Structure 1
Amino acid sequence: MLSSAKGAGPEPGPDLGALIFRAGLFDAGWYGATHADVALSGLDPATHFRRFGLALGRLPCPDLAARLAPGADPALIPPTLKPAELAALRRHFLPAKPPARAAGRGGRRAPPATPPEFDEAFYLRSNPDIDLSRAASPYDHFLRWGHRRFRNPAPDFDLAWYALTHGHDFATPDENPFLHYLRVGKARGDAGCPPATVRLDPAGARPCPPPPPGLSLCRI
């Protein structure tokens, strides 16, 4: 008689979204203010995080790295998290550091020059969890890891929106949207983010003037 367990797949991992909300690690105000696409989606921050943010590796709160890091103050770790659950969250949000690359003939590689369109202060303020010990500069971090997790380079540049709008013109499917903008988009006048929402002010609104004589308007 064959065992019923034969051929069974691996046990599913814990529901990271449920763990985060149960442990009180989600900051709706911070998440919505940090990621402009939340408001554009029409979803509340919690729903957006469950559907998209978690898969993109977005942090649920600004101090998650400090609260989950190995060796962190035990008082910062939510008591509802079991050791296996804590380990699962660390694997998802705190990936292991890759091995150091060997230096080339000229020694350590020169850090990339930071273009003026990259807002370093904004990048650091919006991503307090990043580990700059592995990067030559905030811009170097953005080029190597940040853009893959949709960490925006400036308040007026939305990586996800730009990729959806201009991705058909990318040299490769995984091209960095910001580099495409610097290479092509800026020169041809492409916007880096969606236009601001236009709201009608009823107090200042005026009725349309009547049509000229002999001209009829089509009303739907």
Structure 2
Amino acid sequence: MTSFPGSPRTLKGGFVLMDADGKAVLRTVAFQYNPDGLSRTLTPRGAKIDAGDRLEGLRLVGPPIETIKIEIEIDATDRLEKPGSNADTVANGIAADLAELEAIISPSPDDIAAADGLARSGTLEVLPLPSPLVLLALGRNRLVPVRITEFSIVEEAFDTQLNPIRARVSLGMRALSIDDLAFGSKGAELFMVAARRRDKMAKRRPPNMQALGLTGVP
């Protein structure tokens, strides 16, 4: 006989970092605490309307531009209560937690050194440094390719060695669509999966004019 666990297991949100081709998972970054809220802004992309061009008023040129903002809390209190099991936190506070997030928007030192080597050797065109495909994971049904556009940290408490032990990280992101990713790539595939899921949910009910107090369109 099994006993009731008391509360359901809550999944953690976080980031999945894949190689640029979307073929291998490089690493994952789980949030210590899921954000209390999430702000999303969708900006429609309509066709430019010139004077007298009446046909363009109803056209959409592509998916809306979606921006996402969240705030993540990191707190070492629980780990510091068990110092024997959390030696890294005792030595460095939450520095490693912050480094995991900061590394998402920072090219690796090896890539920086390689680009510098190419420039010094006289290479005429040094390509932009490679970056991973970043996926924001918010449950099984929301895996969104994103680019982090804003990143700010407020360190709120410190240990005796001035290591941060509590912080808030505010992130602004732009969801990437087929306008940003090559069609057929892993990122574009994930965007299309999300778009089809949204379209299916939006069409779950048939039209009901009576609910709007209408018998039809005049």
> Which one has the bigger helix percentage?
1
* TM-score past 0.5 threshold: no
TM-score range relative to shorter protein: under 0.3
In terms of fraction of residues, the more strand-rich structure is 2
TM-score by length of 2: 0.27
Of structures 1 and 2, the one scoring higher in RCO (CA 8 A, sep 6+) is 2
